[in-house]
Structure 1
């Protein structure tokens, strides 16, 4: 089976997302690669599809127990044999899975990094036809990554032990320095690097000042009724207090933090995944690897420790691609709290953590499009503002900052890209402090060219330039600035640079989360009613199977159903996320639900542009009588009868005998015989002769059956 067939049959998609096909072809060619894709961007497909195309077994190394369970559930729901081995399983359970691997039953096995190094496990893998190693959350192997785990630096053993087996490293968050380190740590220096766009246009981005947070959250939730979401807090205590306040306001809320025992955390997580709880208030301990596709919003009660964490956490909203909202509360007190946490790290690590926290602070206080800031952090740029963040919706005064940018970039170039923020500003402002004179920087042509601008303004403007992607920063070289291709376009080609006029954060106009909702059309109202109806059916199915609702179908799939209203198997298989296995399990249930909805809602079929004959056919195939169909569709039995005549003319086989009893048929035919009726005669005399006991439709059916019997006897 080729990759396209696997994608359709098992995952229900007609086409790959950007880069997926190229990545899969690279893996099928037995070459290593590094994949950077945003949360919800489709990383898993990049190794799950090759796993099904190639003979043998794929080994996925993941640090996240919750992700393993979630991914395996989803794969099994798609008809793919998968399993995981981690500390939640006892020895006998693990041994049973290992036997399934040996027998060839398992196509994808998820293991923790610790399991890789467990006694005898590598030797066991050598007995299997391993076709691929996938290292998920691969930023964990890098010192420069935001979630560095020293024990994972030994994963280079994969390439040493299996030099012919391709390795794919996957992550949603890695800057240039981290990417380089991942390749080195995994011993895949020659791997092809694929970088998907980090842009998530379905996410709105808003930053609010950290005052009256509960009031702001309550106002926000009033505009997001019944939508699941996550509130992230810094401390365990605040998760409990915020959750208590939300429960008092009437929202079904649970808290989640590392101080709870495993059973408690597992219960809370399952309740959220199954939509039994609307809101989770959590520390960052929650959400890693959780593939709940219908999270509609994420709120940060406190500022995160770095941009990578923030990006990963907001990425848990809108994984299905539907519009979702994010809100970040910012206060300097939260920054100081994060700096206190960083004090516990080693000197080198603390310097890195504080530098990354500073970038997060600059994002929160930025005067430019927030999406541009996020994308530039990951070395991606866009030419226009997004229009879907608070800065774009509440724009501040812009000015031509090209000359200022050229001064800063020239100073970076003339110092051979060896200066960080403070030293750069001192050069521009003409300081004669010892570090400058010792290096002879007072002789530079750009020395003192920015002395008319205050220090704090220069800080703001330089960070704007950094956020616009006009320069880069090298954390592994003491946080010095580096020039890139855009830098030289500004320096050499006078590429224009628009900067926002400096305004202290405390004096800026507060952003407002928009409350207005557009007036819905009748078509949209029916679509939304059907969506909620489908959600109810999905919840019942999921509860019966003991799985999260999105394992049955994602919100994106339900939304597509509500929009297109499929009434046939072929149409259902064209719904996004509906593969053959999903259709076999749930397709008929959802088709019948849609058909019943259309039949019971006046005008719904017309709005859905559903072929009226097709709808009658589907209701017939459900076993309904003509009278049943007429009642459900709010039509006359005569109209439904004409539908069947039309379907019959189109070659659809109709069992007319289903609509009439043998006794009624014989009674009608006896009457026709006594009246000496011939083909083409009017039916009214027979209708009256039978004392109007039988409808015209039954009379027609009885006569049609008699004619069919005459033809078959010839």
Structure 2
């Protein structure tokens, strides 16, 4: 499809809206898209900051189809280039990429298409674009404008600086008649200024979208058996696409293995893998042959997948910028998605150690401040949406977002936060507001450190006020009072002092929120999470998802390129009965209607006929609760092979060099996971008969009464093995 420019000298926004409907199947632009597109159409340099999922690509793809010539898109990731070009081609847009993966003949074919004026969007890497040969070639071509994607990479103040981006400044000199437009998902004020300066943009219009992602539910959970916490969340989202981020490669491998043991299709992704394996795993995830990808937070994935339903951070990211971008990979289709961050104080220590050993270890004060801000986001009981939005300099006006653990009242708060705050603030006053968080926490907790005694702080009236709670709790509460503005942290040594609101709080004038350390309420699915499932037949959605996966495999493209989850839900909600009604579904453009309309209509017809469902109506489907599933540790999993061969507990303990008690636990995991019903390999028949004959001795499932009845002749382990096999046989 080659779109024609309007008959007027300058294409209008109406032309772009027509393209949006015809190519992408949407009737209206998202917030800020229209402003950004108008800048491109008017050939005025611009910078657009739209959070992940905000629709940045449309801002340069749609106008490229309205103007004469070819738009050149600069992208840093080969995988991202391919995904975007595949998506454009599937929508009937003539586009291509040039990078190191192409053969000489493939590059020659693309050059011939460009010479014939057939390519509307050309994707290139910054290094490839800046070669003399490429620049000379493009000068002979009709370049309409340049779009710099992931533009934060040009700024040393950004979170993903890439030196090769610096050379893009030459574009304004070499192509004086082509406008340049920068796009990024994450950029603070200084980074935005730096992008405009480094690219040499002329009188650039800077547009910043709303950083809030209301369809994302944020949860910050303190680590407690972290691997099990990850497994529980994945189990809740079984069958859905998700990403799990870990700090280290070792943790990535361990987590991926644990999820595989749950019969979850999970694959690892980190920089220590070969390019081939990493690409294969990413392709499997994008094409929905794998539900979960487990990756290091330090490695950019270039994921352009719209239907990621959840993102888990098994460890704290090193900045809010990183967290906003990584968690933002969830819910790019605007459907509800969950973002869970599992953190501990040890994560801060880990990142500081990494920073100290990095190339910029001599100048990491900015990185440390970013880390502290991230830690504050995790530990403070304030609305997560509000905290993220205000971190990026925007105002959040809602009193309750309804989409985070704090506003959903899943965080356990102390009963009398004002009195507790008074104790802490009084302690800061007694140390004359001249010390940092750590020292004040130790004084309040009654530490016996020599420095505290030397300063005479063990004689203060506030010394040991929080002795029962401990240093860690005191530090947590001080952090929370800082985050809420009752305490200030200033100066080179980050000393803490009372703010004006803190001095009012001393007089009980204030409303602080302090959490109970290490305690959180249960985290049920947010009630609104079912809203976009209202009327959706889950069985039909699953059938359409399988069809999508098959079509994607046949075409060797990501599944979401066929149709996104939002479109599949509309199919399963409306259940159209004709190709004309299929065309009315959001996300169905002309090319996709032509390519896939009949296939999906036939699948809907078959399902509705078999299930005797009405057409063009909606039915609310009840969501069943998800059962918790125990995660299996790698060592336990290694024992399964021995138990399958009929080895005894003693034999396995000797082979693995483990204590008998430890191997007994492994056996329990084996019995449950493999659904073993015959206990004879580990318990003799006579003992088994005795146990099964005295089941009436079990009180509310407790084995102690039975154990005491047998007077120790039958072990707890034997009782547990027999009962587990019995339950397996009955399930």
Aligned counterparts of 1:160 and 1:518: Cα–Cα separation in 2? 51
Deviations 1:506-548, CA, capped at 9 Å, x for gaps: x252253216989999x96762222112112111211211212
Given the alignment of the two structures, is residue 305 of structure 1 paired with residue 321 of structure 2, yes or no?
A: no
Deviations 1:136-178, CA, capped at 9 Å, x for gaps: 1111111110111223122111112222211111111111111
Deviations 1:209-230, CA, capped at 9 Å, x for gaps: 1220122222223322211211
Q: Equivalent of 1:389, from 404, 415, 429?
A: 404
**1:190 aligned residue:** 203
Q: Equivalent of 1:373, from 341, 365, 387?
A: 387
Deviation at 1:285, TM superposition (A): 5.9
**1:461 aligned residue:** 481
Deviations 1:321-377, CA, capped at 9 Å, x for gaps: 111111111112111111112121325641111111111111111110111111111
Aligned counterparts of 1:112 and 1:331: Cα–Cα separation in 2? 38
Given the alignment of the two structures, is residue 529 of structure 1 paired with residue 539 of structure 2, yes or no?
A: yes
Aligned counterparts of 2:105 and 2:510: Cα–Cα separation in 1? 64
CA 1:100–1:389: 2 relative to 1, 3 Å: same
**2:512 aligned residue:** 500
CA 1:471–1:80: 2 relative to 1, 3 Å: farther
Preserved CA contact (<8 Å) 2:577 2:616: no
Any idea what SS the aligned residue of 2:71 has? strand
CA 1:525–1:107: 2 relative to 1, 3 Å: closer
**1:279 aligned residue:** 292
Given the alignment of the two structures, is residue 554 of structure 1 paired with residue 554 of structure 2, yes or no?
A: no
Aligned counterparts of 2:139 and 2:290: Cα–Cα separation in 1? 44
Aligned counterparts of 2:100 and 2:489: Cα–Cα separation in 1? 41
Preserved CA contact (<8 Å) 1:567 1:595: yes
Deviations 1:578-614, CA, capped at 9 Å, x for gaps: 10011010011112222333333224337449xxxxx
Given the alignment of the two structures, is residue 580 of structure 1 paired with residue 594 of structure 2, yes or no?
A: no
**1:437 aligned residue:** none
Any idea what SS the aligned residue of 1:542 has? helix
Aligned counterparts of 1:471 and 1:68: Cα–Cα separation in 2? 45
Aligned counterparts of 2:570 and 2:204: Cα–Cα separation in 1? 38
Structure 1 unaligned regions, length at least 5: 408-419, 427-451, 482-486, 491-496, 610-714
Q: Equivalent of 1:101, from 80, 96, 114?
A: 114
334-343 or 508-517, which deviates more: 508-517
CA 1:520–1:81: 2 relative to 1, 3 Å: closer
CA 1:322–1:457: 2 relative to 1, 3 Å: closer
**1:250 aligned residue:** 263
Deviation at 1:82, TM superposition (A): 0.8
Aligned counterparts of 2:403 and 2:239: Cα–Cα separation in 1? 23
Any idea what SS the aligned residue of 1:58 has? strand
Q: How does 1:32-47 map to 2 (within 5 A)?
A: 32-47=45-60
Any idea what SS the aligned residue of 2:176 has? coil
Aligned counterparts of 2:134 and 2:510: Cα–Cα separation in 1? 57
Deviation at 1:480, TM superposition (A): 11
Q: RMSD across aligned C-alpha pairs, in angstroms? A: 3.6
Preserved CA contact (<8 Å) 1:287 1:316: no
Preserved CA contact (<8 Å) 1:208 1:511: no
Q: How many residues align?
A: 551
Given the alignment of the two structures, is residue 354 of structure 1 paired with residue 364 of structure 2, yes or no?
A: no
Given the alignment of the two structures, is residue 565 of structure 1 paired with residue 575 of structure 2, yes or no?
A: yes
**2:650 aligned residue:** none
**1:314 aligned residue:** 327
CA 1:99–1:600: 2 relative to 1, 3 Å: same
CA 1:602–1:49: 2 relative to 1, 3 Å: same
Any idea what SS the aligned residue of 1:160 has? helix
Preserved CA contact (<8 Å) 1:220 1:513: no
Preserved CA contact (<8 Å) 1:599 1:605: no
Preserved CA contact (<8 Å) 1:205 1:390: yes
Preserved CA contact (<8 Å) 1:390 1:512: no
CA 1:515–1:372: 2 relative to 1, 3 Å: closer
Given the alignment of the two structures, is residue 542 of structure 1 paired with residue 552 of structure 2, yes or no?
A: yes
Aligned counterparts of 2:134 and 2:575: Cα–Cα separation in 1? 50
**1:289 aligned residue:** 302
Aligned counterparts of 1:157 and 1:228: Cα–Cα separation in 2? 41
Deviations 1:444-480, CA, capped at 9 Å, x for gaps: xxxxxxxx999986654333349xxx9999xxx9999
Preserved CA contact (<8 Å) 1:372 1:385: no
Any idea what SS the aligned residue of 2:406 has? helix
Deviation at 1:381, TM superposition (A): 2.1
Deviation at 1:552, TM superposition (A): 0.5
Q: How does 1:17-166 map to 2 (within 5 A)?
A: 17-166=30-179
Aligned counterparts of 2:276 and 2:123: Cα–Cα separation in 1? 22
Deviation at 1:237, TM superposition (A): 1.4
Preserved CA contact (<8 Å) 1:138 1:170: yes
Preserved CA contact (<8 Å) 1:355 1:479: no
Aligned counterparts of 2:155 and 2:405: Cα–Cα separation in 1? 33
Q: Looking at CA atoms only, which structure, 1 or 2, has the larger radius of gyration?
A: 1
**1:323 aligned residue:** 336
Given the alignment of the two structures, is residue 512 of structure 1 paired with residue 522 of structure 2, yes or no?
A: yes
**1:204 aligned residue:** 217
CA 1:245–1:519: 2 relative to 1, 3 Å: closer
* TM-score where L is the length of structure 1: 0.71
Preserved CA contact (<8 Å) 2:50 2:208: yes
Deviations 1:628-680, CA, capped at 9 Å, x for gaps: xxxxxxxxxxxxxxxxxxxxxxxxxxxxxxxxxxxxxxxxxxxxxxxxxxxxx
CA 1:287–1:317: 2 relative to 1, 3 Å: farther
CA 1:498–1:579: 2 relative to 1, 3 Å: farther
Any idea what SS the aligned residue of 1:120 has? helix
Deviations 1:158-200, CA, capped at 9 Å, x for gaps: 1122222111111111111111111111111621111111111
Structure 2 unaligned regions, length at least 5: 1-5, 7-14, 426-433, 441-464, 467-473, 503-508, 620-731
**1:625 aligned residue:** none
Any idea what SS the aligned residue of 1:514 has? coil
Aligned counterparts of 2:500 and 2:579: Cα–Cα separation in 1? 57
Any idea what SS the aligned residue of 2:96 has? strand
**1:673 aligned residue:** none
Any idea what SS the aligned residue of 2:609 has? helix
Aligned counterparts of 2:325 and 2:601: Cα–Cα separation in 1? 36
Aligned counterparts of 1:84 and 1:479: Cα–Cα separation in 2? 51
Deviation at 1:83, TM superposition (A): 0.8
595-604 or 79-88, which deviates more: 595-604
